[in-house]
Structure formats: C-alpha cells, structure tokens
C-alpha cells in the first residue's frame, strides 16, 4: 500500500507539473504596474519584493493534495478529534476564557465554535505555518495556473494589508496557501473581516488574542451566524434500509421534513420546513449520516468542505463537554 500511495503521489506531481507553465516576465511586470499605478506603491519596492520571492515546489505539491480531497472522513476526523487536541482545547479555553467570553458576547458566536476553529486550524495557535507568505502567494500567483487569478488577487491584498497594518512584507510567515496567524486568514479575509478586539488601534491576527478571537467570531457574524441555533444533527437509517447517497452540497437544498421522508431518523424540535442538507460520509463501518443546518453552512464559508465543517463542530462540542465536566467536578468539590 505504501508503494501504491507513493506511486500515486508521484503521478499527481507529474500531472501537476504538466499543467504548470512558469509565469512570463510580462505577468510579473503587469502585476508590478498594477500595484504602482492603481495602488500607489513605489515601483522599485514592488519589483524588489516580487523579484526576491522564491518559487517553491513544495507549495505546488501541497496544493495538489489537500486533506479534504484525498482522505476519507474517518481518517480526516482522526487528525483533529483526538484526546490530546480536546485536552489542549480545555486548557486553551481556561487560559483565554475572558477573551473568549468577550468575543462571544460581541459577535453572538458560541465559544465552542470559536475554539473548534482555532483548534482545527492551528492547534490553538501552535502550528501557523513556516512559509513566508510572500513566497507562498507569489508561487501560486505566478506558477500555479489553475488558480493564478485568485492568488494574484491575494498577493495584491497582501501588499495592501502589510501597508495598512504596518507589517514587514518579507517577514510574515503562514501556510502554503498564504493563510496567517492562529485563525489562518488569507489576506483578503484579514482585510475584510478582522477587527480590533482590544481597542488598541490595530488588527493583529499574528499575536493579539483579543483581535484573533473577535475576528473569528466576526467572520461568522458577517456570514450570518444565527446565535443559539443548532449546527448539525446526527442521523441514522432503520436497520435494513437501503443506504443513502449525497453530493454533500454545502448549502441546504432540502428540508428536515424531506429528510424524514427519506427514512432518516434524528432528534430535533425544529419545524419540518427548516432548511437542511444531507451529508453522507465514509466511516470505518459504512455510511455516516449528518444533517447540516444554516449554521453549518456558515462554518463552510471559512473552508468550503463538509469534512472541515464537521470536524470543527465536533471538536468544539467535545471541548465544551469536557469543560462542563471539569466545572461540575470543581463545583462538587467546593
């Protein structure tokens, strides 16, 4: 199996290489002209940044095999829903409780959801990426044709972000896709959704936890998170029923009543006309059924993957349950 996976990885790399045509000098010159003429940067500055950015094959390879697309659900889940990550989440909650409560009150997003996002994205801020953001974005902007338009926009946003927030453009590090800090915001999201959580006049998603937590909550708030509403419901089929399939659409395209009519069994007091979508994932024992509600769709605005959405939800729920247990034990002992 190891040899087979290695062969597949090698084949994927070869296919990716076949798709990639290195950017011409004209592509870079057009970007430099845009930043100079449209956004007021000094030409020599933009030329220096772009000219010194390193094209990295490891970034191109990583883009070809994101975990959400190559792993089945049961393997993907095991990356994030672990005893270590849950316990670390409890510690994180206790350490940042005041900031989490403030962010939740300000945005209407539950603490458990904010913790789940930070836990999945960067293990509560521990793993934020070791690539220079300028290298990641330049590599993808000029040497990854399948998404060059998107990443040239992100490179442009990064120039603007570093100017707005007073960041050194060559020093910031992040993921292979140019996402930054504990919440892993790409530059356009950083500029659009980050907030100044502590009122110091800056939006620092690299090290200021008040800004970080409020910004995660604000991201969901802007995408119409509904305070206090459910996120997802586990569902089952009666024994012997024909298994269901689903395209796992992100947005709700059915109702709870429709899903009940398909034979799914789940507990909910919500009315039958509540918008919902059917999620069918691969567990070790066969199909695993979930029902995604409006707030689940909001989670997938952060990362357009049902597996990501479910992992962040489940991690947040597991941490919240463990925090509640610890609180009850402490209360009983006092």
46 and 188 both lie in a single domain:
yes
pLDDT for residue 255 is more than 80:
yes
Report the CATH number at residue 22.
1.10.8.350
201 and 254 both lie in a single domain:
no
Q: Give the pLDDT score at 25.
A: 79
251 and 275 both lie in a single domain:
yes
Give a yes or no: residue 102 inside a domain.
Answer: no
Mean pLDDT over 11-27 rounds to 55
Please identify every residue annotated as catalytic: 121
pLDDT range class, residue 24, cuts 50, 70, 90: low
57 and 143 both lie in a single domain:
yes
203 and 135 both lie in a single domain:
yes
Q: Give the pLDDT score at 22.
A: 52
232's tokens: 């997802």
Compute the distance between CA of residue 70 and CA of residue 215 in angstroms, rounded to an integer: 30
Mean pLDDT over 263-275 rounds to 97
In a 13 Å sphere around the CA of 2, the CA atoms on its Cβ side amount to: 0
Range with lowest mean pLDDT among 133-137, 187-191, 218-222, 330-334: 330-334
Q: Give the pLDDT score at 13.
A: 46
36 and 176 both lie in a single domain:
yes
134 and 46 both lie in a single domain:
yes
Burial letters for 90-105: b for 16+ Cβ neighbours within 10 Å, e otherwise?
bebbeebeebbebbbe
Domain count, the chain: 2
- Cα angle 24, 25, 30 (rounded to 5 degrees) comes to 100
- pLDDT tens readout for residues 144-179: 999 999 999 999 999 999 999 999 999 999 999 999
Structural domain span for residue 135 = 12-66+129-222
In a 13 Å sphere around the CA of 261, the CA atoms on its Cβ side amount to: 7
253 and 189 both lie in a single domain:
no
134 and 213 both lie in a single domain:
yes
Residue 279: strand pairing partners = 290
Give a yes or no: residue 171 inside a domain.
Answer: yes
Q: In what order do the strands lie in the sheet with 286-292?
A: 232-235, 286-292, 275-283, 254-255
48 and 192 both lie in a single domain:
yes
What predicted TM-score, i.e. pTM, was given to this entire model? 0.90
pLDDT for residue 16 is more than 60:
no
pLDDT for residue 78 is more than 90:
yes
The per-residue pLDDT of the chain, averaged, comes to 92
Give a yes or no: residue 37 inside a domain.
Answer: yes
Give a yes or no: residue 332 inside a domain.
Answer: no
165 and 270 both lie in a single domain:
no
Q: Give the pLDDT score at 3.
A: 39
What residue has token string 């206790």?
94
In a 13 Å sphere around the CA of 271, the CA atoms on its Cβ side amount to: 2
pLDDT for residue 104 is more than 50:
yes
159 and 285 both lie in a single domain:
no
């Amino acid at each position: 199996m190891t040899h087979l996976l290695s062969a597949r990885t090698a084949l994927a790399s070869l296919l990716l290489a076949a798709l990639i045509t290195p950017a011409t000098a004209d592509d870079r010159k057009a970007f430099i002209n845009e930043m100079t003429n449209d956004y007021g940067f000094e030409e020599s500055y933009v030329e220096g940044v772009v000219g010194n950015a390193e094209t990295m094959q490891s970034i191109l390879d990583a883009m070809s095999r994101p975990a959400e697309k190559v792993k089945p659900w049961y393997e993907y889940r095991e990356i994030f829903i672990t005893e270590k990550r849950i316990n670390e989440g409890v510690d994180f909650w206790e350490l940042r409780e005041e900031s989490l409560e403030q962010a939740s009150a300000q945005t209407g997003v539950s603490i458990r959801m904010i913790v789940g996002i930070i836990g999945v994205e960067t293990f509560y801020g521990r793993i934020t990426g070791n690539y220079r953001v300028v290298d990641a974005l330049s590599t993808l902007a000029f040497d990854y044709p399948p998404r060059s338009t998107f990443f040239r926009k992100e490179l442009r946003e990064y120039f603007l972000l570093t100017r707005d927030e007073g960041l050194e453009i060559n020093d910031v590090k992040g993921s292979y896709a140019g996402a930054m800090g504990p919440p892993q915001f790409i530059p356009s999201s950083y500029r659009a959704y980050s907030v100044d959580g502590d009122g110091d006049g800056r939006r620092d998603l690299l090290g200021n936890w008040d800004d970080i937590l409020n910004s995660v909550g604000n991201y969901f708030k802007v995408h119409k998170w509904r305070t206090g509403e459910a996120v997802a419901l586990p569902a089952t089929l009666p024994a012997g029923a024909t298994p269901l399939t689903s395209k796992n659409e992100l947005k709700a395209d059915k109702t709870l009543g429709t899903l009940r009519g398909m034979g799914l069994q789940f507990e909910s007091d919500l009315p039958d006309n509540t918008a919902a979508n059917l999620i069918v994932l691969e567990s070790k024992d066969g199909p695993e059924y979930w029902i995604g509600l409006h707030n689940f769709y909001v989670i997938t605005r952060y990362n357009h993957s049902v597996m990501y959405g479910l992992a962040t939800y489940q991690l947040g729920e597991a941490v919240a349950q463990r925090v509640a247990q610890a609180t009850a034990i402490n209360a009983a002992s006092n």
